[in-house]
Structure 1
Amino acid sequence: MKPSLSWDEQVSLLVGRGLDIDDERKCAEFLSVHNYYRFSGYMRYFQIAPHHGDDNFVPGTTLSQVRALYDADQVLRSAPTEQLTTAELLLRTHTAHVIANDHGPCGHYLQAEFYSDASSSEPTVESCLRDIERSRERHILRYAVPGDRMPDFGELPVWSAVEAWSFGTLSKCIERGAQGSLADAVATSLGVAKAGFAYRVRALVYMRNRCAHHSRIWNHSIIDAGPTPNNVRVKAKRIAGQFEPRSALDVIASLDDIVDRGKAGLHMLPKLVEAHKQHADFWKGLSHPQNPQDHRL
């Protein structure tokens, strides 16, 4: 068991490992706000071989050097918020529109046979109903029968229901709805490529959750990366240069495409290039994420 350390003891630990700290008092104040464990995710890239138990810093590493990357990542996490919100609203709107027009506004979308669920995952209907039942919005509560312990919301129109679903539940509905055909229909409604669309939506949910929970984006390989269309990648690489398929930049290129096709906003990628590309170490961690390197000779 690792002992719990005070802020000052955490600073002493870093100094003992060879980190150059100009102002130890300010460093302790920083750690009291930002959490040593969170900050350690950035420090590992400057340590000799943390995956082999050597947590000493590469000689010459300064706190300011690590802080610059941490601060840039903090700014980056707030950048996609508006675009992700716009994309989420577009997806709610077009999903409800497609379901209502193609399958009827009520009932059918809350039936198990509407979805192609896997036995290893929670049934999509349960996710949909749980989110609806949690809602305290008047437009939802008016459809709950008073005194009914298990309301089925059979008369709740889908355009009302989608407003209660989490982004994750919405993503499941798009991926599995209408026995797998809903994703194609929503993509067509938005005017984007059908191939891999459901997985692109899943990647947006993953990115939104990381940003919302202040998780590291720099040097992070996106687990639920969607298959961004080749024409979208080619266009994005003209602006940003080369980037990996599982990089944050790939998801942002996909996000720009979805929002742009919805005629709902401006591209985000050019703004990131302008703000961050001159910071070579930070940009490399966005475009070509990798694990900490072994700095042992």
Structure 2
Amino acid sequence: MGKSWLSYEQQVDLLKKRGLEVRDPDSAVEFLSRVNYYRASGYFRYWQRQPGAGDNRFIEGANFEKVRQLYEAEQALVLVCDEVLHPIEVLLRTRFAHHYAEHVSAIGAFAHGEGFTQPRDPDDELVQEYVLRNLDRSKETFVAHYRDEIKVGNHYSPDAYARMPIWVAVEAFSFGSLSRLIEASAESGVLDSLAGSMSVSRKTLPSQVRSFVYLRNRIAHCAKLWNHSVLDVPGLLPNIATRAKKNYRPFTDHSIYKIFVALDDVATKTGIADSWLAHKVEPILQENRLLAQGIASPAKYGQFARDLLI
């Protein structure tokens, strides 16, 4: 059966018909005019009986205001994430370029894959291909200034970037491409110098950067963080994980909270923020136990603690 268009008022009526308590219909209409019903349904389903089986009726005691408070608390959490994600990304770009120039070459070598450990599988893309794609499609004036018109078919040749310094190129890399370069730079000594300059573990830094990219991408696409099971899990030294669990709260391996712990450690050691987790994240979570549980220990709907929902 096809879906029908519903006005915002009709969307609220549908929720009420399914058993959701709505104390202030006007406020609910205003909320759904800003937050797509489909987006909100990702939260609603935790209060529904069996949404996977098509039973969208709400459990007894479910109310709209609780869902709205959860969503708005999560948005507050998103805002404080950017306070450390953005400066950490800029720092990583800066330090990577500095140490790559120190250990490998200042000019052009990155386009030929110098200083990077290539994948073992011959079917996998070479590391520099990620870089070249970023540079080829860039419309930035600074890229065009250093790019020569040397092409192979419809694409620029690596030789087109023979004059480009790494500290110029790195500003055109996506965060994901930068993460791949960092991970592939161990044998050339770049990773060691990068981690050392940040006072963080060389062993865990690559996976942490991957997780930062993962979190930033979810935030950039306005994706849900609550009850999301993370795919790119950051590595944490045992003492850091133990201290966070003792001082703040327990968390599972695939939780968003584990990324927060890694962010806090990097931000603190690099001087970007002082106790970000304690001063910015925890106050939000302590105000909303429902949000905190889904951030620290994600669960599927039907498996979430009912006493927190009602």
Quick check: TM above 0.5? Answer: yes
Match of 1:153 in 2: 161
Counterpart Cα distance in 1 of 2:212 and 2:188: 19
- 1:4-35 deviation digits (Å, cap 9, x = unpaired): 33133322221121011123343233222211
Shift of 1:44: 1.0
Asked if 2 retains the 8 angstrom alpha-carbon contact of 1:252 and 1:268, the reply is no
Match of 2:299 in 1: 290
After TM superposition, the structure 1 stretch with the greater mean CA deviation from structure 2, 143-152 or 266-275, is: 143-152
Instruction: Please report the RMSD computed on the Cα atoms of aligned residues, expressed in angstroms.
Output: 2.2
Counterpart Cα distance in 2 of 1:169 and 1:25: 46
Match of 2:93 in 1: 92
Cα 1:241–1:35, aligned 2, differ >3 Å: closer, same or farther? same
Match of 2:12 in 1: 11
* Unaligned residue ranges in structure 2 (runs of 5+): 305-310
Match of 2:38 in 1: 37
Asked if 2 retains the 8 angstrom alpha-carbon contact of 1:204 and 1:255, the reply is yes
Match of 1:222 in 2: 230
- 1:85-135 deviation digits (Å, cap 9, x = unpaired): 111111111111111010011222211463423555443322212212333
Counterpart of 1:163 in 2: which secondary structure?
helix
Counterpart of 1:241 in 2: which secondary structure?
coil
- 1:238-281 deviation digits (Å, cap 9, x = unpaired): 33121112212211110111122222222221122123213222
Which residue, 189, 213, 218 being the options, matches 1:210? 218
Which residue, 165, 168, 181 being the options, matches 2:176? 168
Match of 2:288 in 1: 279
Match of 1:233 in 2: 241
Give the aligned residue type for 1:169. S
Identity in percent: 34
Give the aligned residue type for 2:238. N
Counterpart Cα distance in 2 of 1:98 and 1:294: 47
Counterpart Cα distance in 2 of 1:38 and 1:19: 17
Counterpart Cα distance in 1 of 2:105 and 2:148: 21
Counterpart Cα distance in 2 of 1:196 and 1:179: 16
Runs of 4+ off more than 4 Å: 118-121, 146-149, 178-182
Counterpart Cα distance in 1 of 2:271 and 2:24: 49
Counterpart Cα distance in 2 of 1:182 and 1:203: 20
TM-score of the superposed pair, with normalisation by structure 1: 0.91
Cα 1:102–1:120, aligned 2, differ >3 Å: closer, same or farther? same
Counterpart Cα distance in 2 of 1:256 and 1:124: 29
Counterpart Cα distance in 1 of 2:63 and 2:123: 47
How many aligned positions are there?
A: 295
Counterpart of 1:19 in 2: which secondary structure?
coil
